[in-house]
Amino acid sequence: MRRLEGQVAIVTGGSNGIGAATARKFVAEGAYVASFVMCDVAVESHVEAAVNRAVEEKGQLDIMLNNAGMMHPRGHAIAHVQLDTWERVMAVNVTGSMLGMKHAARVMMPRRRGCILLNCSVLGLVKTDYASYGYVTAKHAVVGLMKSGAVELGKVGIRVNAVSSNAIVTAMIEKWLDEVSDGACPKEVFEEDMARCATFTGKRLTVDDVANAFMFLASNEASYINGHNLIVDGGYSVHGRNIVDFKSPSSLD
C-alpha cells in the first residue's frame, strides 16, 4: 500500500521548485493534492477558501504543507532595510505559514488527526552575509511557529513539523541571485558554492531531497514525530560557513 493512500493534501507554492516536487511525491504515494486558483497566502480569506474547497471536494484534509515563501535582495545592512519590503517578506513567510496552520487546524481538530508541515530554511538556524535581515528573521520565526503549533495541536492528535534545507536554485532563488549579484553569479557557480559549504561531499542538494524529507514527515513512518525541524543541508549548519561575495566565488577559498 502506498504511504499516503487516500489522504488529502494542500501544498502552497506548489507550482514549481520544492513545492512541485513534493506535490508529485505525495501524488505518487497515493494522496490527492488539492488544486486551486492563485492564492495569496498572506490574505486570510484566500487561505480559508483554499482549505474549505479541499474539504468540500474530498471531505477531509490530512496534510497541509505551508511551502510558499519569498526572498528579496540582500538588504544585509540594517540601515538599508526598507519597511515595505520587510513587511511583505514577513507577511508571506510568517503570516502565510500561520494562516495555513490556523485553517488546517480548524478542519483537522474535529477529526483529531492530521499533519501540518512548514518549509523553513537553514537561515532559520544561522545567519550569513548573503541573506537579508527580513528573510533570516522570518525563517527563525517560522521555526518558533512550528514549535508553538506542535505543543498545542499535538494534544489533539495533529503533528506539526518542519524541514530546513540549504539553498537550491529554484525559480525564486534564481531571481534573487540575479538581483543580489547584479547578474554576475551564474546559478552553476552558486550551486557549486553551496556544495562547498556543506560538510558532506559527493552530491548536491536537489528539490527531491527536500521533497523526500517532507514525504517522510507526512507518512506513518513519522507517526510519533512532533515539533521536529528536519535539517536537510549536507551538514552546512554544523559550521555555518559564510558566503561573502557572490561576485567572487573564490572568496570561499
Lowest-confidence region among 28-42, 45-59, 98-112: 28-42
Short-list 153, 169, 79, 155, CA closest to 117: 153
**Residue 201: which pLDDT band, with cuts at 50, 70 and 90?**
confident
Beta-bridge partner residues of 119: 163
Beta strands in the chain (DSSP E): 8-11, 32-33, 63-66, 114-119, 158-165, 229-232
Q: Give the residue-averaged pLDDT of 73-81.
A: 76
How many other CB atoms are there within 10 angstroms of residue 246's CB atom? Answer: 19
pLDDT at residue 244 tops 50: no
Which tops the pLDDT comparison, 18 or 16? 18
What's the pTM value of the predicted model, to 2 decimals?
Answer: 0.89
Contacts of 39 (CB under 8 A, 6+ apart): 12, 46, 47, 49, 50
pLDDT value of residue 220: 98
The percent of the chain in helix, strand and coil, each rounded to the nearest 5, is: 50, 10, 40
**pLDDT at 80 (0 to 100):** 85
Mean pLDDT over 41-51 rounds to 96
Per the CB < 8 A criterion, the answer to whether 217 and 163 are in contact is yes
213 or 70, higher pLDDT: 213
Amino acid at 123: L
Q: Which of 146-150, 171-175, 203-207, 210-214 has the lowest mean pLDDT?
A: 171-175
Q: Which domains does the chain have, with CATH numbers?
A: 8-167+206-234 (3.40.50.720)
**222-241 confidence digits (pLDDT tens):** 999 999 999 998 888 887 56
Rounded Cα–Cα distance for residues 207 and 25 (Å): 11
| Closest among 80, 85, 38, 70 to 175, alpha carbons compared | 70
Kindly list the catalytic residues: 135
